[in-house]
Amino acid sequence: MNRNFTQFIIFLGISLLVSCSSIQERKSIKFESANNRLTDSSHVKNVLYSQFYDWQGVRYKRGGLSQHGIDCSGFVHLTFKSKLGLHLPRTTGMQSRLGKEVRRDDLKAGDLIFFKTGLNSNHVGIYLEKNKFLHASQKKGVTISRLDNVYWKSNYWKSVRI
């Protein structure tokens, strides 16, 4: 009986290892194809402006994930998932750990922009073009703002390219 149990455990372990690696490969293929779509700036801008027109003015709601209310990281999460086919984490903290950091003057459409807005709070938006970014603002809801605005400029933290 002990031998059968040991064989079962070994079989279970091997099954899990094999299934995890195939899941990883599928995720990486999905990531690569979505990542290729992010290199076409014109396509990314069109997609982001389309998302803006669909969501413009939707009010800010902490933890929200619908057109009844959405927060900044939720908006980024849904935008990348629905418009670019890329699954990003749900929170600003997790999103800030992705990709490769880029300088503010090297931003391209689709780059994530992060701000430190308080002692323990951050904000995220998606760069569009010409110093503009798309985000869910606490005051205006889903909107387009300028990076050279005094508030955003003084609270800028970093930018990353997925």
Residue 68 annotated to the active site: no
Catalytic residue among 20, 77, 87, 123: 123
Instruction: Out of 20, 68, 77, 135, pick the active-site residue.
Output: 135
123 is catalytic: yes
Which of 20, 43, 68, 72 is catalytic? The answer is 72
H helix runs in the chain, sequence order: 2-38, 41-55, 72-84, 92-95, 150-155
- Phi/psi-derived region of residue 49, left when phi > 0, alpha when psi is between -120 and 50, beta in every other case: alpha
**What is the signed CA dihedral for 15, 20, 26, 31, rounded to 10 degrees?**
180
- Non-local (6+) Cβ contacts of 85 within 8 A are 30, 33, 34, 37
Tokens of 15: 């099954």
Q: How many CB atoms lie within 10 A of CB 34?
A: 17
Annotated catalytic residues are: 72, 123, 135
